[in-house]
Amino acid sequence: MTALRRASQRRGSASVLLIVGLANPGDEYDSSRHNVGGDAVRLVAARRHATLSLERHQRALTATIPTARGPVTLAVPTTFMNESGAAMTPLLRRTSLEDLANLVVVHDELDLDAGRIQLKRGGGLAGHNGLRSIAQVLSSNDFGRLRIGVGKPRTKDEGADYVLARLRGAKKAERDESVARAADAIDALIDEGFDGAQRRVNAPRD
């Protein structure tokens, strides 16, 4: 049984959009490339004066905000990245989401140049453990993704250290700028819908 089917067994207040930012919990992962998705969602919550909080039986920090298009739920799983899917069934129940087109996962992307942001629906998992966990729980890859480019390490063997290391100085500033642009993209998604935000976010940069 898919997470969407399980969610239909106990429904909460309906949200028109669920935006999930992926990150590892714990201070040791602050300012890492792997946490850009969660940090972008946290920044949007702060901009909209919303408090992300942990409710009973949930495995994510959540806030539901009113918008002109209806309630939108922001979420950051409290699980480790490779267990992100564990948060999905409670989130789907909480939001009464029935269509994966209304789920957008915000995550770091090694296959995009650092600083590039891309909004897309479906597609492969590109070796991302958080996406893999979510796709396994949903039994589907057909959810939206806001991909935040972090670039690639020099070799594959450096991959874990590259995404998990806490950044400082110019590299942290570059990372924080990417988080801010991703938050802008989430704001566009909330205010304009997927298609309008996609045209804006994916447009070539000057």
Active site residues: 34
In the numeric block, which tokens belong to residue 73? 């739920």
Distance CA 159, CA 177 (A): 22
Distance CA 83, CA 21 (A): 13
Distance CA 60, CA 53 (A): 8
How do strand 144-149 and strand 103-109 relate by DSSP bridges?
parallel
Question: What values do phi and psi take at 17, rounded to 5?
Answer: -155, 140
Distances (CA, A) of 192 to 26, 186, 200: 33, 10, 10
CB 116 within 8 A of CB 68: no
CA-based nearest residue to 20, from 42, 48, 49, 53: 42
DSSP 114-155: TT-EEEEES---TT-HHHHHHHHHHT---SEEEEEE----SS
CB 64 within 8 A of CB 73: yes
